[in-house]
Amino acid sequence: MEDYRLHLREPILSKDRARDYRHPLHKLTGLQWWISVVVNILLLVVGQSAGVLLGRYYYDEGGNSKWMASLVQTAAFPILFIPYIFLRPFDEPPNSGSSSSSSSVPSVLILGTIYFIIGALIAGDNMMYSFALSNLSASTYSLICATQLAFTAIFSLFINRQKFTALILNSVVVLSFAAALLSVNDDDDSSGNVLSVSERKYTVGVVLALGASALYALLLSLMQLTFEKVVKKETFTVVLEMQIYTAIVATVVTTAGLFVSGEWKSIAGEMEGFGAGKVSYVMTLVWIAVAWQLCSVAVVGLIYVVSSLFSNVISTLSLAITPIASLVVFHDRMNGVKIVAMLLAFWGFASYVYQNYLDDREARKNDRDGS
């Protein structure tokens, strides 16, 4: 049975050479492993929640540049070089000198083209997210973005040929209902300290959030396809390289958009008129950038110590948790529709997780029977 997670495969080495190859994260056992998982989960949940809440705060205090809001989502990519430089020497097994292994390495042109396309799509996705967040409260935005799990299941069916079970279908339907409820929610969706948005802006925000979630799910499927068909391996280094290079492209594209659109001319005035002051303006953007990159590090960490499926599920779970944080920070109005939508999001999330628990248990059983 083909499991629809991105597996992290161990390099095939002789027993003697394997003794000399030990990745630091592979040494984690028992309590250390659990601590690593918990730390990465906290980084992902806190980083993603902080990124969304600070993004909403940027708009609430007078920020208006969608290009700037998009740029900071990838601009702190140099942070990713810290784990990359530290762990890369341990991530590659000793060179076996086999000509077959070198022949399977994709060309720079092919990888460069893939990274450019995915990076450009990420830039567009970030722009859609930024527009959506500017028109929605943090709670509504997060609940709608939780539909990315449903979109991931759909794209995985067609692109990655992954199975579509009753539980997965239930997850897709329930998350779709949650988004539908929010899309027809005509109650005041504003935060406690900003003016209500118009019905037109609310609708645009919902559509863009759904579109961005769908595009993000498509990107995940394309990345998985790249690992399976082009790179043909998934190590800590390879996953980080994918994130770093695509982030560089997205940052360059977004920076170009900032200058071509002319929004860079309004940055000084935006800083002057920021409600909390100039220093707060700069620090808000800095911490948004740091939050998203810490989230990226945690995503890679969970991929490596557990699986990419688990990482994606925790990322989606944090989107369902963010409305609670938004209720505390921004005093968002949690009306009956939002509460029902949040419960539906947790239901859809639980169905997705349970299906993958069943798949994992069956895969382990098949492995035992085969051995």
CB within 8 A of 7, min separation 6: which ones?
234, 307
For the chain, give the number of residues: 371
Report which of 61, 202, 184, 57 is spatially closest to residue 136, judged by C-alpha positions: 202
How many Cα atoms sit within 13 Å of 11 on the Cβ side?
22
Burial of 268 from C-beta contacts in 10 A (0-12 / 13-18 / 19+): exposed
C-alpha dist (Å) from residue 240 to 32, 79, 237, 248: 22, 11, 5, 12
How many Cα atoms sit within 13 Å of 294 on the Cβ side?
19
Each residue's pLDDT tens digit in the chain (371 positions)?
333 333 333 333 333 333 344 455 555 556 777 787 888 888 888 898 899 999 999 999 999 899 999 999 999 999 889 888 887 776 655 454 444 444 567 788 999 999 999 999 999 999 999 999 998 888 888 888 878 878 887 887 888 777 778 887 887 788 777 777 776 665 555 544 444 567 888 889 989 999 999 998 888 888 878 888 888 776 778 888 888 999 999 999 999 999 999 999 999 999 999 998 999 999 999 999 999 998 888 877 776 776 656 776 777 777 777 777 777 777 767 777 778 878 887 888 788 778 877 877 787 777 777 66
Amino acid, res. 206: V
CB within 8 A of 150, min separation 6: which ones?
171, 172, 175, 176, 217, 348
First CA to last CA across the chain, in angstroms?
A: 15
